């Protein structure tokens, strides 16, 4: 099966390709000739996933899926949430985003947080949503060099390592994106 993943984020594409069975071929936006930045203007994580999937379906005609992910921190009333990628500004710097978050949490009583991924699948004229959530805490410093985004400061409940200390396969087996992709794969394999 061949599906377009509405992203040019090499890290996400690599992570997702590692999660799907070998008979699934994941195409990036670049693979279908889409080089424009798809606007993420929705107020919710679900909304942004839907916007991206609809953009590809409407403009390129492919069955596709798109995801959006946010880090939701309890002490910040769910922020950065839908603004996770550009929390410290439009330059979308992982380092700047982490530094801002660590600064804002320096006196917080709670460091509880969760990662939430929503995948929107457009296939055969129908739309489906899949959601993965992993609970954890924000560390007080960056630890580890793997992964991307907030991985060096997020430790999932039940583990003693940040996402950035885990291999891609270890992270995928417990992560928000891994949970959502698992739901997508289960759904597609029953079709």
- Residues forming the active site: 68
64-76 as b/e: b if 16+ CB within 10 A: bbbbbbbbbbbbb
d(CA 40, CA 42): 6
Tell the burial category of 125 from Cβ atoms under 10 Å away from its Cβ (0-12, 13-18, 19+). Answer: exposed
CA-only gyration radius of the chain, Å: 16
**What is each CA distance from 167 to 31, 34, 151, 170, 178, in whole angstroms?**
26, 30, 11, 5, 13
| Residue in 1, 85, 77, 4 with CA at minimum distance from that of residue 40 | 85
> Which DSSP string do the residues of 78-100 spell out, in sequence order?
T-EETTGGGTT-TT--HHHHHHH
Q: DSSP letter for 39, please.
A: P
Element spanning 174, H or E? helix 168-174
Number of H helices, E strands in the chain: 5, 7
């Amino acid at each position: 099966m061949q599906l377009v993943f509405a992203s040019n984020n090499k890290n996400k594409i690599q992570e997702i390709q590692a999660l799907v069975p070998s008979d699934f071929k994941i195409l990036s936006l670049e693979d279908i000739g889409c080089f424009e930045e798809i606007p993420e203007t929705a107020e919710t994580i679900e909304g942004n996933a839907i916007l991206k999937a609809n953009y590809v379906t409407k403009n390129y005609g492919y069955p596709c899926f798109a995801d959006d992910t946010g880090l939701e921190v309890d002490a910040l009333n769910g922020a950065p949430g839908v603004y996770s990628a550009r929390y410290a500004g439009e330059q979308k710097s992982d380092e700047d985003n982490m530094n801002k978050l660590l600064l804002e949490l320096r006196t917080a009583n709670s460091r509880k947080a969760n990662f939430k991924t929503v995948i929107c699948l457009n296939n055969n004229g129908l739309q489906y949503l899949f959601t993965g959530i992993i609970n954890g805490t924000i560390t007080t410093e960056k630890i580890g060099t793997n992964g991307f985004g907030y991985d060096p400061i997020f430790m999932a409940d039940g583990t003693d390592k940040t996402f950035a200390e885990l291999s891609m396969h270890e992270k995928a087996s417990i992560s928000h994106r891994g949970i959502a992709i698992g739901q997508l794969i289960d759904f597609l394999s029953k079709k």
